[in-house]
Amino acid sequence: MAVKAYILIESSIGKVEDVLAEIRKLPQVLEVNAVAGPYDIIAVLEAEQPEVIGRLVMERLHHIPGINYTMTCLAITG
């Protein structure tokens, strides 16, 4: 069964479009949107195991210029 995660992202001022473009290039990304509120972007990821999502966030997402902070929320129901 696949695991879905919602990644809440705070970006640097003026960097939202650049960050969106880079996130869209990543594997396992189902959807990514700019949003209004305390976060600037929400990305939806899906993988076969939670470890895949964890590695993607730590090894790829955190290295995108313009990302200041992320919060990963794993979905617990389908």
pLDDT, one tens digit per residue, over 11-30 is 999 999 999 999 999 999 99
pLDDT at 1: 76
Domain ranges of the chain: 3-74
Taking only the tens place, the pLDDT of each residue in 45-62 is 999 999 999 999 999 999
Instruction: Give dist(CA 12, CA 78) in Å, integer.
Output: 33
The two tokens of residue 5 are 């995660």
pLDDT at 76 over 90: no
Query: Taking a C-beta distance cutoff of 8 angstroms, is the pair 10, 57 a contact?
Result: no
Region 32-51 average pLDDT = 96
| CATH hierarchy code of domain 3-74 | 3.30.70.920
pLDDT at 73 over 90: yes
